[in-house]
Amino acid sequence: MCPGCDGLGEQFSFAPDLLVPDDSISFKRGCIVTLGRWKEIGRWRRHRYQGVANTVERQRELEPGTMLETPWRDLAPELRHLWLWGTGDLHITYTWRGGASPIKYGGTYDGIIPELLEKYRTLRSRPKLRQLEQYMRTIQCPECAGQRLGSQARSIRIRTTHPDFNASPDRSLPEVSQLSVRRLADFFAELELDDTARFVATDLLKEIRERIGFLLNVGLDYLTLDRPAPTLSGGETQRIRLASQIGSGLVGVLYILDEPSIGLHARDNQRLLDTLCRLRDMGNTVLVVEHDEETMRAADRIVDFGPGPGVRGGQVVASGSVE
């Protein structure tokens, strides 16, 4: 899981285009709107930013003044990223000339956006918070580029031998997550593993294939694993929960579902019913609010409410078997 966004792929943060409304001017001329022009920045921070510029220019063999005097739009993307998100492990040095004799300092540079985020988290003044929030919105996570996984997980590649993937048999975990559930089932059906990997992955693959099978059985073969949860319909969300409950193997549970067949193609309805019956046969009670005739005919008991809809209902009209 990406530590920057907690696996969400996005975060509420400061947006670069809002922080730099005019990209035709340079850092020194005040392209970062929250900093202002060079002379408006405190002396300590000026020395620090100068130290960042000098260190980066020296390391990358750039012309002196590139970092501070080049218009923002003409700076290389990686240099803009350094200003906004920090230098990582790069050690920077800067000199403070505020006293009688210069003092040399060293350390890392966190970046303008992380510093603003830290300020935002510690502020208690609502007016100041609102002032900062005008430069914020939900943006793609800069650490994982929206892929939700940490750097180590993103570097892993899996190879399948399924003929449908001959053109590109090697996939990273984010690329695997972009496959539909149907394609995912094919991908994991035939993996290329050596003896050690096969021994380690046996239980994992069994679990993965079972979970994919549950999603297929409830008619969700068209979904992708990287699909954001808020974009799912109510019926899709219910069926995902249903698939996870089957995998948990619980018994003695009362399940209540509200029209789980909504949005489901008629050809997948029977698979959903088979799943509900499987839950029942495991030793659970399944209560379904539904108007679908096929679902009602599969029920052990039907309770019909009426006689009319809304305020004209509320009475038990009939109760018993289908017959």
Query: Which one is predicted more confidently, 299 or 219?
Result: 299
* pLDDT digit string, tens, across residues 240-285: 888 888 778 789 999 998 888 877 777 778 888 888 898 899 999 9
What is the average per-residue pLDDT within 174-187?
Answer: 94
At residue 172, the pLDDT reads 93
Kindly tell me the burial class for residue 214, based on how many C-beta atoms sit within 10 Å of its own C-beta (0-12, 13-18, 19 or more). buried
Q: What is the location of CATH 3.40.50.300 in the chain?
A: 248-320
Ramachandran angles phi, psi of 256, nearest 5°: -120, 120
- Mean pLDDT for the chain overall: 89
The torsion defined by the Cα of 240, 241, 242 and 248, in degrees rounded to 10, comes to: 120
Categorize the per-residue pLDDT at 1 as very low, low, confident or very high, splitting at 50, 70 and 90: confident
Fold of 10-140: Helicase, Ruva Protein; domain 3 (1.10.8)
Say whether pLDDT at 306 is over 70. yes
Closest C-alpha to 207, from 243, 153, 234: 243
Residue type, 313: G
Q: Are 251 and 284 in contact (CB under 8 A)?
A: yes
At residue 311, the pLDDT reads 92
- State CA 323 to chain mean position distance: 49
CA angle at 309 for the pair 237 and 262, rounded to the nearest 5°: 20
Q: What is the location of CATH 1.10.8.280 in the chain?
A: 10-140
- State CA 194 to chain mean position distance: 32
d(CA 296, CA 317): 15
Q: Which two tokens stand for residue 62?
A: 């750039």
Q: Token match 């549950």: residue?
A: 214
Each as own residue / partner, the long-range contacts of residues 115-120 (CB below 8 Å, 24 or more positions apart, any chain) are 116/14, 116/34, 117/13, 117/14
Q: Are 2 and 149 in contact (CB under 8 A)?
A: yes
At residue 209, the pLDDT reads 92
Tell me the residue ranges of DSSP E strands in the chain.
10-14, 92-96, 103-107, 136-140, 157-159, 170-172, 254-258, 285-289, 302-306, 315-320
The torsion defined by the Cα of 161, 165, 167 and 173, in degrees rounded to 10, comes to: -90
Residue type, 31: C
Second-level CATH architecture of 248-320: 3-Layer(aba) Sandwich (3.40)
Rg of the chain on CA atoms, in Å? 29
Categorize the per-residue pLDDT at 68 as very low, low, confident or very high, splitting at 50, 70 and 90: very high
* pLDDT digit string, tens, across residues 79-112: 999 999 988 877 887 776 655 556 676 788 889 9
Categorize the per-residue pLDDT at 3 as very low, low, confident or very high, splitting at 50, 70 and 90: confident
d(CA 6, CA 202): 28
Maximal C-alpha separation, the chain: 99
Q: Which two tokens stand for residue 86?
A: 């920090």
